[in-house]
Amino acid sequence: MNILEVNQLKLWDGQTEEVIVHNSSFHLKQGQCLAIVGESGSGKSITCRSIMRLNKPSIRQSGQILFQGEDLNKLTEKEMRKRRGRKLCMILQNGMGAFDPSCVIGVHLRETLQAHYGWNAKEVEQNMKLAMERVMLRNPVHIMNQYPHQLSGGMLQRIMIALALVLEPDVIIADEPTTALDTISQYEVIEQLIQLRERMGCSMIFVSHDLGVVRKIADEVLIMKDGHIVESGSIHSVFSKPQHPYTQFLVSTRRELSNHFKQLMQEEQHIAKR
């Protein structure tokens, strides 16, 4: 069963009439993780923001976005707000941009959970404390009293994952959630996202340009280039037998980098044995 269906999605700049995404169609099955892969400017992030209806006003969109059979494009902004967070949750690329810099983290969490559940401050703190501990954040009450700039990128990403745990959305959209993180934090965040899916059985759209991470987390993949979906299919079929020249380029580049790294490691080991 498809929880989300995107049909003939077109995105364009209302001022210049430049088309950014050309009539894209894809679907997300219940419990599935769909990866969207492509270089910067290929249309990945703007496609995800269109599902959430979070693009800036100058960006126009047409086509169908069916979530549980309901066309999101036809909802009012007030109706859409009720679905953001509780039904559709987005984990942003830059954790700093997800929180109001003038307020401590706890204010954002309290406002979000009060809007969806009507909880008081104590209930919010209790639920968030448990969720933050589950994503390996120590001293959660202290963290909730910190401003965003006082926390690392990895911590902010894990707070967003903890919030998703509490909200229990049907679909999580993770827009390049590891791009701004160091290697160790990247690994930890990916592990938390995998565990999040296992705990909740939710569906996920995972946006990335890192094929290694995509192979680890996703079931299906879309390849985007210049606003077009150029290839799609299961992770195994697309990575083992890529059809489009651009996909072939991505896969071969990834393979060459991996082989080069293995060769360097072997040379290091050989030198160390001397």
The pLDDT score that the predictor gives to residue 213 is 87
Domains and CATH numbers, the chain: 2-241 (3.40.50.300)
Of 34-48, 228-242, 254-268, the range with the lowest mean pLDDT is: 254-268
Of 21-35, 82-96, 104-118, the range with the lowest mean pLDDT is: 82-96
Measured CA to CA in angstroms, residue 65 lies from 7, 25, 87, 201, 242 at distances of 6, 9, 14, 22, 28
The pLDDT score that the predictor gives to residue 158 is 87
d(CA 192, CA 151): 18
Measured CA to CA in angstroms, residue 79 lies from 52, 71, 211, 253 at distances of 12, 12, 36, 44
CB-CB neighbours of 28 under 10 Å: 21
The pLDDT score that the predictor gives to residue 171 is 95
The pLDDT score that the predictor gives to residue 67 is 96
34 pLDDT band, cuts 50/70/90, is: very high
Q: Is the pLDDT of residue 272 over 90?
A: no
Q: Is the pLDDT of residue 261 over 60?
A: no
Residue 242 phi, psi (nearest 5): -65, 135
158 versus 36: the higher-pLDDT residue is 36
Mean pLDDT throughout 181-197? 81
**What distance lies between CA 15 and its chain's CA centroid?**
28
The pLDDT score that the predictor gives to residue 35 is 96
| pTM reported for the whole predicted model | 0.86
Mean pLDDT throughout 209-222? 90
The pLDDT score that the predictor gives to residue 187 is 82
The pLDDT score that the predictor gives to residue 192 is 83
Measured CA to CA in angstroms, residue 112 lies from 60, 147, 157, 182, 261 at distances of 27, 16, 16, 28, 44
Residue 122 phi, psi (nearest 5): -65, -40
Mean pLDDT throughout 76-96? 88
